[in-house]
Chain A
Amino acid sequence: MSSYVVRRVLSMLLLLLLLSLVVFILFSILPTDPARLTCGKSCTPEIIEANRHRLGLDLPVFQQYWEFLKGLFVGRTYAANSPDPINCSAPCLGYSFRRGEEVLILIKDGLPTTIWLALGAFVFWMVAGISLGVYAAIRRGTWRDKTVMGVGLVGYSLPSFFIGLLAIFFIIIKWNLLPYPSWVPPQEDPVGFLQTMILPWIILAILYAAFYMRLTRNQMLEVLGEDYIRTARAKGLPERTVIGKHALRAGLTPIVTAAGLDLAGLLGGAIIIESLFSLPGIGSLAITSVNDADLPVIVGITLVTATFIIVANLIVDLLYAAIDPRVRLG
């Protein structure tokens, strides 16, 4: 078990290293010039050239990558020889000249919003998805099953930006049920927070719940045909225990896998929902950075998001053993 964990963590670190290299090379083909963003209107080619040199942007890609890696562990100083050097302490994910801020701080600022969005939606979709999926499986073949699955299919097919626009049109503009969304942290204004978040939560949840419903239903149908379910029923266990403890638990493994990865993906920012509801999270940061050609921020977000997914992959695999006693890690 412990040697398995060590092996997995090592291969995860290797993957992260590889990933950061690929991201670096991938984005080095972009013609955007971070040096151009370092000086304002009074820019001359000479100043840009000098800045590029000072900031190490004229180095070959691999050397820049090395500087970036070093910055992650020991921090780095941009423009060290100039009168006003920029200090970026470890772990340094880069520096956005566009915004005059460390990338890590920008991401940290956006993270609370994104985490609230992701967690809220996660709770909604897991509860709705699993309970409806179990319900459909128990009632399989009936009109109830068919209705639930039919609604699920439609939910699964709805593009998020379309439901988002519909919700804004009807609920906010037409019927005035909610005020225009404006982000406030929950500790400052709990009511405003809920009013802003409820629609994004529900919309994200609709998209994901439909998928989890189908997954749960399929898993349950598979497991309910197993011998040990018959045994459990024959022992006279109440149906609730049979379904909840024996069937659902055994069928939970792929659901946990999907849930872990989806949650991790959402923590990297929901670009469309965040920009539709003007939530200042990672997704909004990502889209503004793309529009501004703010390369360091794009690289930073890509790396952080990918790290979330890779770490989630590991956690999910380790969770298997805890959920399903039949799983042996090795």
Chain B
Amino acid sequence: MAITESVAKAAPVAGRSLRQVVWSRVRHDKVAMTCLVILILLYLIAIFAPLICKVIGVDPYAFDGASISDSGGAPIGDWGGISRAHPLGVEWGTGRDILAQLLFGLRISLLIATSATIITVFLGTVIGIVSGYAGGRTDAVIGRSMDLILAFPFLLIILALSGVLTQRLSSLGVPEGNPSRILYMILVLSVFGWPYLARIVRGQVLSMREREYVEAAIAMGARTPRILFREILPNLWAPILVYATLTLPTYIATEAALSFLGIGVLPPDTSFGAMLANSVSYFSVVPSYLFIPGVVLVVLVVTFNLVGDAVRDALDPRSGRV
């Protein structure tokens, strides 16, 4: 202990933790900083969506018979009935406000994608570390199960099992309807997502378990959980962080795709995918039904990807060369 302290004092340059290095690199990346600010804003909007809707005076659930025509339910006015009361127009047939639906859709998208990413990262990290460190039979069994999961056509399985498993979640005490459907999405995205991260983590652990500090910890009598999660895990944050930031946007897109295929939240709730799916019947007449949720979805995913890229560049020791 005394030695490390004296070395630290003697060193002319202060050591920087990984977090400091990454933060200083990301901070100088203008695109990344802009995107980061946008993302924080989007999360705030999602969290405070009900409040914002109240302030603007829109409601995602309220029917507005005055804004649609009596026969057929087409919105009155151009671009899906854009007016002062409904800044982005209203839904065909019900007159519900599009802007409010968009805000609440953002909420559901971010809720699902963020939770699924957290669970994926947790599962992938723990299983990857255990698999890499244990080796032998444990590693082989985990490896084969990962091969198995990766070989599944996951979209088909998710679609086929959605009805039953959603019901099963309901019978386990999750409130019926959309809470069960949202939980199902979070769970299936995580279950089919963790092997990718586990593979990366396992590869890293394979080389780390031979390092001196692990040997030193073993010699000092540290127990295995301590070695795994206190000695090895801190050295894995770089690949885990990169994986997490790049997984979140793919989950947003996948969730939208699943909602588009009809297994997402049910009305009166909505999400980007569901809004796009509804637009199919009307977009030749009201193109804004297609453009508004689509563009917001793309912006969301692009922003996340840009931040993810910046984090990866900042964490890559070779990024200076390129």
Enumerate chain A interface residues (CB-CB to B < 8 A): 15, 18-19, 22, 26-27, 29-31, 140, 153-154, 156-162, 165-166, 169, 173, 221, 225, 265, 268-269, 271-272, 286-287, 290, 298, 301-302, 305-306, 309-310, 313
Q: In the bound complex, do residue B156 and residue A286 qualify as a contact, i.e. CB atoms below 8 Å apart? A: yes
B164 and chain A: residue at smallest CB distance:
A30
Confirm or deny: B309 has a beta carbon within 8 angstroms of a beta carbon on chain A. Answer: yes
Q: In the bound complex, do residue A287 and residue B306 qualify as a contact, i.e. CB atoms below 8 Å apart? A: no
Chain A residues with Cβ under 8 A from B297's Cβ? 159, 162
Interface digits, B263-303 against A, CB 8 Å rule (1 contact, 0 not)?
00000000001001001100110010010001001100110
Chain B residues with Cβ under 8 A from A29's Cβ? 161, 164
Q: In the bound complex, do residue B156 and residue A162 qualify as a contact, i.e. CB atoms below 8 Å apart? A: no
Chain B residues with Cβ under 8 A from A19's Cβ? 148, 151-152
A214 and chain B: residue at smallest CB distance:
B309
C-alpha spacing A165/B256, complex, angstroms: 14
Chain B residues with Cβ under 8 A from A269's Cβ? 153, 156
C-alpha spacing A286/B298, complex, angstroms: 27
The 5 closest A-B pairs by CB, nearest first: A157-B301, A305-B153, A306-B151, A157-B302, A162-B294
Q: In the bound complex, do residue A161 and residue B257 qualify as a contact, i.e. CB atoms below 8 Å apart? A: yes
Chain B residues with Cβ under 8 A from A272's Cβ? 257, 260-261
Min C-beta distance of B145 to chain A, whole Å:
9
Chain B residues with Cβ under 8 A from A265's Cβ? 153
Residues of chain B in range 134-158 having any CB-CB distance to chain A below 8 Å: 144, 147-148, 150-153, 155-157
Classify the secondary structure of B's interface with A.
helix
18 contacting pairs across A/B (C-beta < 8 A): A15-B148, A18-B148, A27-B160, A29-B164, A30-B164, A153-B306, A157-B298, A159-B256, A160-B257, A161-B257, A165-B294, A166-B290, A169-B283, A269-B153, A271-B261, A272-B260, A272-B261, A286-B156
A225 and chain B: residue at smallest CB distance:
B321
Q: In the bound complex, do residue A165 and residue B321 qualify as a contact, i.e. CB atoms below 8 Å apart? A: no
Chain B residues with Cβ under 8 A from A30's Cβ? 160-161, 164
Chain A residues with Cβ under 8 A from B151's Cβ? 15, 19, 306, 309-310, 313
Q: How large is the interface on B (under 10, 10 to 19, 20 to 34, 35 or more residues)?
A: 35 or more
Which among B153, B159, B160, B294 is the interface contact of A306 at CB below 8 angstroms?
B153
Chain A residues with Cβ under 8 A from B156's Cβ? 268-269, 271, 286, 290, 298, 301-302, 305
Q: In the bound complex, do residue A153 and residue B144 qualify as a contact, i.e. CB atoms below 8 Å apart? A: no
Chain A residues with Cβ under 8 A from B147's Cβ? 15, 310, 313
Q: Beyond A162-B294, A271-B159, A302-B152: 20 further Cβ-contacts under 8 Å?
A: A15-B144, A15-B147, A18-B148, A19-B148, A22-B148, A26-B161, A30-B160, A154-B302, A157-B301, A157-B302, A159-B260, A161-B260, A165-B279, A165-B290, A271-B155, A272-B260, A286-B159, A298-B160, A305-B156, A306-B152
C-alpha spacing A154/B152, complex, angstroms: 28
Chain B residues with Cβ under 8 A from A221's Cβ? 322
Chain B residues with Cβ under 8 A from A305's Cβ? 153, 156
Confirm or deny: B227 has a beta carbon within 8 angstroms of a beta carbon on chain A. Answer: no
